[in-house]
Structure 1
């Protein structure tokens, strides 16, 4: 019987069926629109997205035909949640992590707990992107919804609950609320109480891989699924991505090439706050027991999309008309063989670690009348890589990265992966299945159902490595020279870029 992995993100959801060897049997995808509005509002239509989730399950199940589904699990974005009643009534839209509502409560949170103490307890720096400030906003600004809410459920938990499971939350997603104690694996009831938030509205905590129920009979019939597959507690999408490419232990990191580029670094022993906080590094439970992870990230594929829409839209639209919707290979062919003569500072929006800069802009340096479109495009890709390389170089000694497993849509481009290997001067290994989040969720489902005795056996059975791209010594040395110049941009121009953004906003 097949294992179903559901991967749910900010702009779309997908469902993939796999056999226990990691062979993809079926795939379905739906995209949905984010709701934005005045005052920094950013939401998802909770009920609408749940219907999209059912649609991709239905489509994948139909494509798989007579193969039954043994179990399913869900990998989802962190921070965002849905308010529900115990009778599975959806009470409102899902507030996303980058929604501005709740930012006003940050100082109140800090009045009760310091950044250092919160890191000791929760493993995260205090920030408005986590669930806590959004919980507080609902409690204080939307009392009708708050009073009716029995559970605030993170998206993986919400999907399983709506399919018939118990209301639970796995450790990795609970961590994204700021109210989770990473050591005791319990809710921080004391902090919640000080903030007048009812911790009873938070669900039961369980490890990833826990069976939380069976698919509801009526829903199973509606989705065209025979029997009642087990519902298994999932994880934060980045943890599932790491599991889905076999990144379980120290030394190897996952490099995810999606809308954002995210590096997931596993480790066994937590470094202290004095090492992690200055670097903007978090700590959360891996999907794999006995392991933690931290994330380094910034804009990635979204910058290449910006380039396409700005410099190649006519060609892109022509490609869609002709049925050739991917123009990125043509773009790669335009890029110079060596390092770009153009240096791009990739701060086109709010940045990731270590500084999480809001007052900044991107910058392109080195433009001349001889500059080509390919020069700029490659400068963009190099700038993205330089940003993350600087973070990796500054990791505490306790967190080692000797090589990378690379996944995501961008990993299909051999030229792009080769550039990363040269910039980081480390090997990058691709996997046969680049939908690592869904594969990770399927592995979790297999562990929960008993198909695999543990996550290590599941990964060994379902993750298959493809090729390893080694760095080229000559290219790596040339890129290192550009990287050294890149590192001088923020010290020299940081204030100017912030002032320039202010002038644009005025």
Structure 2
């Protein structure tokens, strides 16, 4: 048995095929770039990206047939980024580009929307507070600035739903992706009539909503022949990428969290009961349906791998170029330079807009404590420590919500570093688990495909069969004590530095 997971991100698509025991049998990846047609705009050229996604699927099928020819593909599912949607017709014609969540278009509607609904009421329905990343404001912009495109579009599909639709599925979106529009009712599992009326948007332009792990169609013959996928392969509803990452980590019950170590550090704790909106709003935390039935998740995040990439490009540019040319990664060598114990360098991880609870825009990053004897290993360790301190600050606010985290499962590129995972366990004071397969998003989608195709009787059975622990990292008591002291200093200094950087960023008047 083979199961395919398609993971569509902002800058690339990954397609993996797994056996029913979780063996990675084929893996392919293709990159694409988003564009800035005007200042403040950020969008994907949908036909180009769809072409890259198809190319990635073809490569994965070639890899599968090279080693496992003749073994059937029993199902596929899609994990994707949230918020961004694609305008299409019901006969699968792509009508335009896809605005990304950091595109500024639609921000002008926020004051009026905020005046007509309280944050508490919005959160009670949708589990989010009003903001610019969500689909709602982008659709309002299209309706007002590109009315002909808006009129012609039969549907606006989130990327997971779009890819499934183009492969032959019905136009359906799972609950977790639907929630990223700001138009979804968490309790009813359907589009909210109240929120649609508030926004002035039409229900008929949105796909039907369903749980993750449901059959929504089959691969159509023309696209099957183009991609090398068997015609009739079941297509199963997937999920928001963070939810699929959690499934691929086996994180589907309360007390555990997926800890994504990619461009952003993102902890995704699981809980069964929706917390009081008031306490969640105070902490800047959302509530979203998990891909696991009956469970919810929230996102605790800030910059992570993007800071490490900045460090690499700033302090090791020539070495990075040489490593790229030889097909190697420079990161293992850089992390080998980390000093023992806490870094002597203090870093404020505000290099771009921060995550919860305050989503700070007007600060800047700081590297303090530099001396002549400071080396780049000290600076790198200071960066990854600070990124983890930021999340610890959020973790320590969780008891008031009823959300608990007893264990984290690491995923993403950063999880391949023993030093970084151990540092995370020491600072957060929580055991970390690392799995045999790093491709958690595509693995989670493949597990959902197995459940929907009835190869597994439940999500738990699929996880038991396909998710396998490799390493466990317990917090070191001595290092945790040192980091507790460092964290207290970080908290004191972060507030001072944040205010100082606001003053530094203030425009000059002379």
TM range (shorter): over 0.9
Residues 1:413 and 2:452 aligned together:
no
Partner of 1:332: 335
CA contact (8 A) 2:136 2:199 kept: no
Distance across 1 between alignment mates of 2:369 and 2:87: 50
Tell me if structure 2 keeps the 8 A contact 1:430–1:466.
yes
Shift of 1:316: 1.2
- What is the rounded CA distance, in whole Å, between the counterparts of 2:497 and 2:321 in structure 1? 36
Structure 1 SS opposite 2:387:
helix
CA contact under 8 A between 1:276 and 1:396: conserved in structure 2?
no
Q: 1:207 aligned to 2:211?
A: yes
Match in the other structure for 2:140: 136
Report 1:342-421 matches (<5 A). Answer: 342-397=345-400, 398-421=402-425
User: Structure 2 matches for 1:109-188, cutoff 5 A?
Assistant: 109-188=113-192
- 8 Å contact from structure 2 (residues 348, 497) kept in 1: no
List gaps (5 residues or longer) in structure 2.
Answer: none
Q: Secondary structure at the match of 1:276?
A: helix
Question: Which of 73, 81, 86 is the aligned partner of 2:77?
Answer: 73
For residues 259 and 10 of structure 1, the distance between their equivalents in structure 2, rounded to whole angstroms, comes to 11
Which deviations, in whole Å up to 9, do the C-alpha atoms of 1:58-77 show, x marking residues without a partner?
11111111122111000000
Contact 1:193–1:199, Cα closer than 8 Å, also in 2: no
Distance change in 2, residues 1:320/1:27 (3 Å): same
Q: Would the aligned equivalents of 2:5 and 2:16 in 1 still touch at CA under 8 Å? A: yes
> Which of residues 225, 230, 247 is equivalent to 1:226?
230
| Structure 1 stretches of at least 4 aligned residues deviating more than 6 Å after TM superposition | none
Q: Aligned partners of 1:476 and 1:503: how far apart in 2?
A: 41
In structure 2, what is the Cα distance between the partners aligned to 1:404 and 1:36?
Answer: 37
With over 3 angstroms needed to count, the CA separation of the structure-2 counterparts of 1:498 and 1:60, relative to structure 1, is same
- Partner of 2:506, secondary structure, is helix
Q: What root-mean-square deviation, in Å, do the aligned CA atoms of Structure 1 and Structure 2 show?
A: 1.3
Deviations 1:333-390 (A, max 9, x none): 2111111000111110011100011111011111111111111010001011100111
Distance change >3 Å, CA 104–CA 505, structure 1 → 2: farther
For 1:187-198, list aligned pairs within 5 A: 187-198=191-202
- Pairing 1:100–2:100 present: no
TM-score when scaled to structure 1?
0.98
| Structure 2 partner of 1:11 | 11
* Normalised TM-score (structure 2): 0.97
3-state SS of 1:106 partner: helix
Contact 2:242 2:441 in 1 (8 A): yes
User: How far does residue 324 in structure 1 lie from its aligned partner after superposition?
Assistant: 4.8
Deviation at 1:34, TM superposition (A): 1.0
**Residue 272 (str. 1) matches residue 276 (str. 2):** yes
- Measured against aligned partners, the alpha-carbon deviations of 1:227-247 in whole angstroms (never above 9, x if no partner) come to 321011110000000010110
CA distance in 2, matches of 1:309, 1:405: 28
TM-superposed CA distance for 1:504, in Å, is 8.4
1:228-243 aligned at under 5 Å gives the runs 228-243=232-247
Relative to structure 1, the CA distance from residue 39 to residue 504 in structure 2 (aligned partners, 3 Å threshold; closer, same or farther) is farther
Please show how residues 243-258 of structure 1 align to structure 2 within 5 Å: 243-258=247-262
Query: Which residue is 1:35 aligned to?
Result: 35
1:110-157 deviations in Å (ceiling 9; x for gaps): 122111101000000111111111111111111011000111100000
Report how far residue 184 of structure 1 moved. Answer: 0.8
